[in-house]
Amino acid sequence: MRRDVFQAIADPTRRGIILLIAFQAMTPNAIAEHFDTSRQAVSKHLRILTECELVKQEQSGREIYYQLNETKMKEIDRWLEQFKKIWESRFNELDNVLLTMKKKKK
Amino acid sequence: MRRDVFQAIADPTRRGIILLIAFQAMTPNAIAEHFDTSRQAVSKHLRILTECELVKQEQSGREIYYQLNETKMKEIDRWLEQFKKIWESRFNELDNVLLTMKKKKK
DNA sequence: TATTTATGAAACTGTTTGGTTGCAAATATA
DNA sequence: TATATTTGCAACCAAACAGTTTCATAAATA
């Protein structure tokens, strides 16, 4: 069973859940109302999101409020950062090439 | 068959391929050498990455060079942007709360 | 206390996934 | 031209996935 952030956000319903609770913590029932699927299916998604620590639970009586764990979301951002760095350095290389060409022109 | 960027980056081998070719375009054989899997499996991953436009092909004789499509990578970044905005506005709210508290103190 | 409500979990099902093996097509090379 | 190399693709398989139905548990409420 693969269970990491990237596998978690692969499912469109889970991305929907993430976006929904990003605004405010919600209970499974309230979340399920926003999707065209059963409460149990949402519950399973929440379990997956919990397992990879993308969401946190907060019990209040018999209700459980799920909220987004921003720290874990930043993991995705960090992964993207790598590429930004690669692209930046590539642009710098391009700059150098252009600079060399300019020099040769002189 | 779901085929979007998020589904594409869900697989760890595909994330590896993406990172690998981010530095420089490579052929399937060369890519496969970096992973503990068959050339055909890599070929399948490349097909998926191509279908969701995360990579571009460039034929050179019988060799095909695969390179990353940066534009599509930015789609992931845009998705993350939403959350950054939500969090920022939440921090601003927090600022307001703190500001109000300060005023009350006076 | 009996009933309703909120939730998670187990069992089952059809579909998707990631991998393998084998083959065909096209290009390079002897 | 015959052979080797590079590649994609189809068929097949076991595992994982997303969903459903059903049930158990715990808290709220009548």
Q: Are strands B63-68 and A63-68 parallel, antiparallel or unpaired?
A: unpaired
Segment B13-49, tens digit of pLDDT: 999 999 999 999 999 999 999 999 999 999 999 999 9
Task: Name the pLDDT band for A2 (thresholds 50, 70, 90).
Answer: confident
- Nearest by CB: A10 against B10, B12, B86: B10
By CB neighbour count within 10 A (0-12 exposed, 13-18 middle, 19+ buried), where does B46 fall? buried
pLDDT above 70 covers what percent of chain A? Answer: 86
Residue of chain A with shortest Cα separation from B16: A79
**Are the Cβ atoms of B22 and A82 closer than 8 angstroms?**
yes
Mutation for B interface: A2, A14, A80, most B CBs within 10 A: A80
Query: Which domains, ranges and CATH numbers included, belong to chain B?
Result: 5-105 (1.10.10.10)
* pLDDT of B106 over the 50 cut: no
Of A17, A41, A44, the residue nearest A31 (C-alpha):
A17
Phi, psi of B79 (to 5 degrees): -65, -40
Of B4, B6, B73, the CB nearest to A83: B73
Task: Return left, alpha or beta for A67; rule: phi > 0 is left, psi -120 to 50 is alpha, else beta.
Answer: beta
Query: Which chain B residue's Cα is nearest to A75?
Result: B80
Q: Output the pLDDT for position A106.
A: 41
Q: Average pLDDT over chain A, rounded to whole?
A: 90
pLDDT tens track for B93-103: 666 766 666 55
Using only C-alpha atoms, chain A has a radius of gyration, in whole angstroms, of 21
- Which of A78, A62, A59, A61 is CA-nearest to residue A70? A78
Distance CA A63, CA A3 (A): 26
CA-nearest of B13, B23, B81 to B47 is: B13
| Integer Cα distance of A51 and A69 in angstroms | 12
Average pLDDT, chain B: 90
Please list every residue in chain A whose beta carbon sits closer than 8 Å to the beta carbon of residue B55: none
